[in-house]
Structure 1
Amino acid sequence: MSKILLFPIVIFFFISSNYLHAQGDVNDGEKNEPEVKYPQYQLKGLLQARYLESFGDNVDVLGVHHSTGDVTQQSFDIKRMRVGLNTKLSEATEVVILVNLADFKSDTKGKVLENAYGKYTFSKYIALTGGQFRPAFGLEELVPVDIIKSFDFSNQYYEFGKNGWTSFQIGASATGSFDIGKIPVNYAVSVLNGNGKNVEMDKDNGKQYSTRWVFELSKEHKINLGLNGGFGKVFKEDVFAIGADITSDFKLTDRVTFDLQIEYKQGTNHNLYFSLPAENRVGDVSNYQMRGVYFLPNLRYVVNYKKLTAFELSCRYETFDPSYKVNSNVRQTYTPMISLEFGKAYTGRIEMGFEIDRFDRNIPDTSTYNDELFLIQLQLRL
């Protein structure tokens, strides 16, 4: 089945390559434009520094319950200190590197290096990416963490990352865009190890195959529908993942806009299944399935007063169950947040709010425990 999926990509690759080569021959006689010099470099950076205070009973700032009562409930923290370099080797070729220096504050195994990939763009219809990157599988994978409308990504994003579908993965991907009638469409097809980032080799001979399709239903209100699907094998067991999401952005007045994000995901939680001792597993891997949905409304008011650019108010609600068929324990998370933006494109940002967790069942001395975490976050990006 995997070979069948890869075959049209290879064919498309050669068709696009031959077309571009022929187009170059046609343009040889045209007037030469000013030469663009390569390589070109773009340095990027991100700092997210936080003050955290937990109001949960005997729950520390990392969300872990301590029955002994010896708890750190107030702390300053550096969530991210990213440094990235984007290099364009030619008009079509780029190399991207991204590291998170904040990972040095703990065990660095499997951390620090985030993006490390090369990309070659043949045309708007197809581009090939290989290395370590965030594969397109859901709404959040296409949005940098520094411009999301909340403090961090959702619970489902990180859980699907542990299962090899989202977050930073090693593999290859084909992406592009085209039109179906008057509807613009973006697509992505990925083949991944499914191990997560910075792993020396695949944990087995199985691969995970995923795809994402985004349909622009309304350009005026920026209404986009995203559909995701994936399948694969992990230790010879069949796994799958599906998802759907919709976004919209309405301009209420010249200064006020309202945008909404809704995303649903469901899939095999093989990471949980294989982490359990064999005698504690209930049935096969198909019994361990996760699912979740979140709603993220955001109201933005453009101020443009001195250095203050805009004021934003958001509140994400998420419900997520890591195993809804066996030992179900739904986690509901509320994340109200106020944000002040300074400069353009979140160059500077001050955020304040809460992350409130409620579980169907509390499990003492674990992170599966009710909590209320207060945050103040300073964000600076270049």
Structure 2
Amino acid sequence: MHAQGDLNQGADKKETEEVKYPQFQLKGLLQARYLESFGDNVDVLGTHHSTGDAVQSSFDIKRMRVGLNTKLSETTEIVILVNLADFKSDPKGKVLENAYGKYTFNKYIALTGGQFRPAFGIEELVPVDIIKSFDFSNQYYEFGKNGWTSFQIGASATGAFDVGKIPVNYAVSILNGNGKNTEMDKDNGKQYSSRWVFGLSKEHKINLGLNGGFGKVFKEDVFAFGADITSDFKLTDKLSFDLQIEFKQGTNHNLYYSLPVEARTDNVADYQMRGIYFLPNFRYEINYNKLTALEVSCRYESFDPSYKIDSNVRKTYTPMVSLEFGKSYTGRIEMGFEIDRFDKSIPDTSTYNDNLFLIQLQLRI
């Protein structure tokens, strides 16, 4: 008995000694595209040209990301992510995406500080390379311009616990609110946000998310809130169906302060954005040679950047077919359309009806 106990202790000691720090994990992502616009005098970036001189077909590198995750200890990690494709245009304020440190006390609380994507919806918690569409939604980018989503500088506390049989995940963040790679906050105001996710069904992966935030921008009160639901149903051994629905509303102070003083009202609360999208996705497991699965999705989104004043709803349809090679989207070929319809098309701007055809190659490590 003693000999067996000594043997087990020796094995445990050896196993402990084998865990060495720091540990490094290199990540990479390439998204290369072919784009063709079928809009009337609309280029591949969505801008209308009344002169007719529009580039309507082009190859493009959407993302060339390189990331390094360094685990300094069992509880401490540093994450760096850059997008080298940003060098194709003015890189100022771009390129560096993630740059943060995280300390995990236990499953109930972990602290993050630096530049990261704060949790404020479904898309903030999912990397762009595994979403079920070509890119994030219009509302994701607009709320990013207003400091709630996308890459922001600040601090966050995250964790998980159970309320009875319901698992709960939470995130509470305090942010500068003026985007990535800024030397300092644009004012003394900060933006506070929170996200709570409730696991309603483990079998069908039904989760309900609630988001809320408030803050001050140039001494004016701003806010945002939203709700979302996700689900994943296994219809047969090979066929599954998942669905995402997300709604957001908030102050569009980015739009407000971009307008000339004489062209706006005295109250920033008069400028509010809101949007909703539905993203159904069917996945069929093939596992034939190197082809893993076939996916078919079609996101529908309705977004209005200022529904109280000068409302102009943008409806976007994104049907897409995707072939997956390898596991976890190691390789992916996607084909489909981004179809934009505005209540009011404005000539010589990107606020113009468009039909964009895309073929995208994605490789990730």
Taking structure 1 as the reference length, the TM-score comes to: 0.92
Corresponding residue of 1:105? 88
Correspondent of 2:43 among 41, 57, 60: 60
Correspondent of 2:297 among 290, 314, 318: 314
Corresponding residue of 2:133? 150
CA distance in 2, matches of 1:134, 1:297: 24
Corresponding residue of 1:339? 322
CA distance in 1, matches of 2:190, 2:262: 26
CA distance in 2, matches of 1:139, 1:311: 23
Correspondent of 2:276 among 279, 282, 293: 293
CA distance in 2, matches of 1:209, 1:365: 37
Matched, 1:353 2:330: no
Correspondent of 2:16 among 34, 43, 52: 34
Letter in 2 for 1:220: E
Matched, 1:191 2:174: yes
Over the aligned positions, Cα root-mean-square deviation in angstroms equals 0.6
Correspondent of 1:79 among 34, 59, 62: 62
Corresponding residue of 2:31? 48
Aligned-pair CA distance for 1:342:
0.1
Aligned-pair CA distance for 1:341:
0.1
SS in 2 for 1:159: helix
Q: Write out per-residue CA displacement over residues 142-189 of structure 1, whole angstroms, 9 at most, x where no aligned residue.
A: 000000000000000000000000000000000000000000000000
Q: Write out per-residue CA displacement over residues 281-303 of structure 1, whole angstroms, 9 at most, x where no aligned residue.
A: 02410000000000000000000
SS in 2 for 1:34: helix
CA distance in 2, matches of 1:185, 1:88: 26
Corresponding residue of 1:11? none
Determine what percentage of the aligned residue pairs are the same residue. Answer: 86
Matched, 1:126 2:126: no
SS in 1 for 2:16: coil
CA distance in 1, matches of 2:16, 2:136: 43
SS in 1 for 2:275: strand
CA distance in 2, matches of 1:65, 1:275: 21
Contact conserved, 1:282 with 1:326, CA < 8 A, in 2?
Answer: no
Letter in 2 for 1:160: F
Can you give the 5+ residue segments of structure 2 that lack an aligned partner in the other structure? 1-11
SS in 1 for 2:207: strand
CA distance in 2, matches of 1:64, 1:109: 22
CA distance in 2, matches of 1:283, 1:336: 41
CA distance in 1, matches of 2:227, 2:125: 14
Matched, 1:277 2:260: yes
Aligned-pair CA distance for 1:274:
0.3
Can you give the 5+ residue segments of structure 1 that lack an aligned partner in the other structure? 1-30
Contact conserved, 1:225 with 1:247, CA < 8 A, in 2?
Answer: yes
Letter in 2 for 1:289: Q
Aligned-pair CA distance for 1:269:
0.0
User: How many positions carry a matched residue from both structures?
Assistant: 352
Corresponding residue of 2:244? 261
CA distance in 1, matches of 2:266, 2:351: 24
CA distance in 2, matches of 1:34, 1:315: 48
Corresponding residue of 2:205? 222
Taking structure 2 as the reference length, the TM-score comes to: 0.96
